[in-house]
Amino acid sequence: MGIDFWDQSNPTNRILLGALGSLTGALVLWLLRLSWVWLKSRNTRLKKLKTEISSLKGELGTLQKRLHGAEKAVEGDGLWLARPLVQPDHYAVLLQQSIPIITVANLKGGVGKTTLTAHLARFYAGIGKRVLAIDLDYQGSLSNLAAQGDVPSSRVSNFVAGEFNGPNINELAWPMENAPGYARILTSYYELARIENQVLVHWLTQREERDARYFLAAALLTQDVQESYDIILIDAAPRITTSTVQALCTSTNVLIPTKLDAVSADAVGYFVEQLFIMEKLWPFLNLAGVVGTMTENNIGALSEASDRRDPMIDFEQDAIFRIQQRLDSTYDAYSKSQPPSLILPHTTFIPGKRDISRLANEQFSEASDVSPANRLVIEAAFDRLGRELANRVNLQI
């Protein structure tokens, strides 16, 4: 006969049922406690998630405001006027007391600015000036033209990015190949393009709290740099990039080289207009002048000839007239008083000889197949330009 576990008259059943009841009660209590712990943990997690969501909403709102500000900047006066100015300490005094810092720039490419910069660096080094050349075009043309040996990495990138904790400018500046005196160069290469974009985005969206427009000024206006060099020449990109803006913000003067044709003449006027639009970024920048390049004849030599005939052909004369018209209208539009002789004397114009770019390269190497006659013509042209420019930027020579 089987055992009836529900027969409570049986003492064994009573014990078993009691034990089962206790076990069931303990199990229920354990489940309840486990549920409470799980619910408490879930509630804590939910509170944390709510806090994180609230924080993310706040960050998203901030980011949306920043992006909206960036959009307004594009639609308004431009990216580089989007945020208030935060200039380096004593910026005005340091810049006004600075050695000449000349940016060679034009928003139109193909006007010979890199070759011009290389020859000017060589000229000033040759007359005993300590020269620092800075290549701010990520194509690295000046670096390839003038740096001694294999072109090192983009050494100017550190300063464009505002990284001042590493090596200083004198430690990173590279010797210029076979320069006739003391001349060094801060090189650039394609990685500079990435750095420029990164700096712009971080500054525009306010991830960068410092004023990125003055990073290069903070590097070049130091006592160490100012005492190490007599003149700084900056080869800027033919675009208003991060580094171009930084160059203009740290320069005492800008020199605009241009071909003498109608298209290039209009580009000069547009560039000067951009300088005025963003003038508050570089209130101490002076226009050293506009110099003609790649002229059809050796204007300087012919103008010095006894017959004093005008060597410029008709379209070059028309271009000079058009440049002056554009300068006049731009200065009038912004109610500016135009300095006399913004267009440099014709004797300083650079002839469009094929040997000029070749000589710029070979002057920084040991071999040269440029004829002695052409060498003399080219060196004389840059001698005239170098001396005229020195006079305009108050460089004692």
Evaluate if residue 384 carries a pLDDT over 90.
yes
Cα(77)–Cα(58) distance, rounded to whole angstroms?
28
> Are 173 and 155 spatial neighbours (Cβ–Cβ below 8 Å)?
yes
Give the E-state strand segments of 60-162 in sequence order.
101-104, 131-136
pLDDT, tens digit, 9 for 90 and up, residues 236-288: 999 999 999 999 999 999 999 999 988 888 999 999 999 999 999 999 999 99
Which has the higher per-residue pLDDT, 345 or 65? 345
Other beta carbons less than 10 A from residue 297's beta carbon: 17
Cα(203)–Cα(281) distance, rounded to whole angstroms?
15
> Are 368 and 355 spatial neighbours (Cβ–Cβ below 8 Å)?
no
The three-state secondary structure class of 154 is coil
Query: Over 242-261, what HEC string results?
Result: HHHHHHHHHCCEEEEEEECC
Comparing CA positions, the residue from 104, 82, 59, 83 lying closest to residue 247 is 104
> Are 264 and 349 spatial neighbours (Cβ–Cβ below 8 Å)?
no
Q: Name the amino acid, one letter, at 69.
A: G
User: Can you give the pLDDT at residue 77?
Assistant: 62
Could you tell me the pLDDT band of residue 299, with boundaries at 50, 70 and 90?
Answer: low
Instruction: List the structure tokens of 63.
Output: 């980011």
User: Can you give the pLDDT at residue 343?
Assistant: 95
Cα(366)–Cα(381) distance, rounded to whole angstroms?
22
Bridge pairing between strands 101-104 and 253-259: parallel
User: Can you give the pLDDT at residue 5?
Assistant: 52
Helix-strand-coil split of the chain, %, nearest 5: 55, 10, 35
Other beta carbons less than 10 A from residue 191's beta carbon: 13
pLDDT, tens digit, 9 for 90 and up, residues 9-49: 667 766 766 777 777 878 888 888 888 888 888 888 888 88
User: Can you give the pLDDT at residue 277?
Assistant: 94
> Are 262 and 320 spatial neighbours (Cβ–Cβ below 8 Å)?
no
User: Can you give the pLDDT at residue 39?
Assistant: 84
User: Can you give the pLDDT at residue 366?
Assistant: 47
Kindly report the average pLDDT of the chain as a whole number.
Answer: 84
Q: Using CA of residue 120, residue 124, residue 125, residue 126, what is the dihedral sign?
A: positive
User: Can you give the pLDDT at residue 217?
Assistant: 97
Evaluate if residue 170 carries a pLDDT over 70.
yes
User: Can you give the pLDDT at residue 104?
Assistant: 98
Could you tell me the pLDDT band of residue 354, with boundaries at 50, 70 and 90?
Answer: low
Which has the higher per-residue pLDDT, 162 or 296? 162
CA distances from 356 to 116, 250, 347 (A): 9, 29, 17
User: Can you give the pLDDT at residue 238?
Assistant: 93
Report, in angstroms and rounded to the nearest whole number, the Rg of the chain calculated over CA atoms. 35
User: Can you give the pLDDT at residue 281?
Assistant: 96
User: b/e per residue, 208-233, with b = 16+ CB within 10 A?
Assistant: beebbbbbbbbbbbbeebbebbbbbb
Share of the chain above pLDDT 70, in %: 82
User: Can you give the pLDDT at residue 367?
Assistant: 46
Q: With both helix axes pointing from N to C terminus, report the angle between 242-250 and 191-204 in degrees, rounded to the nearest 10.
A: 80
Q: Which residues contact 60 (CB under 8 A, 6 or more apart)?
A: none
Lowest mean pLDDT among 52-56, 58-62, 178-182, 356-360: 356-360
Q: What is the mean pLDDT of residues 349-353?
A: 80
User: Can you give the pLDDT at residue 352?
Assistant: 75
Cα(53)–Cα(47) distance, rounded to whole angstroms?
10
Whether pTM exceeds 0.85: no
Could you tell me the pLDDT band of residue 308, with boundaries at 50, 70 and 90?
Answer: very low
CA angle 303, 309, 311 (to 5 degrees): 65
Cα(229)–Cα(57) distance, rounded to whole angstroms?
51
User: Can you give the pLDDT at residue 151?
Assistant: 65
User: Can you give the pLDDT at residue 331?
Assistant: 94
Terminal-residue alpha carbon distance, the chain: 128
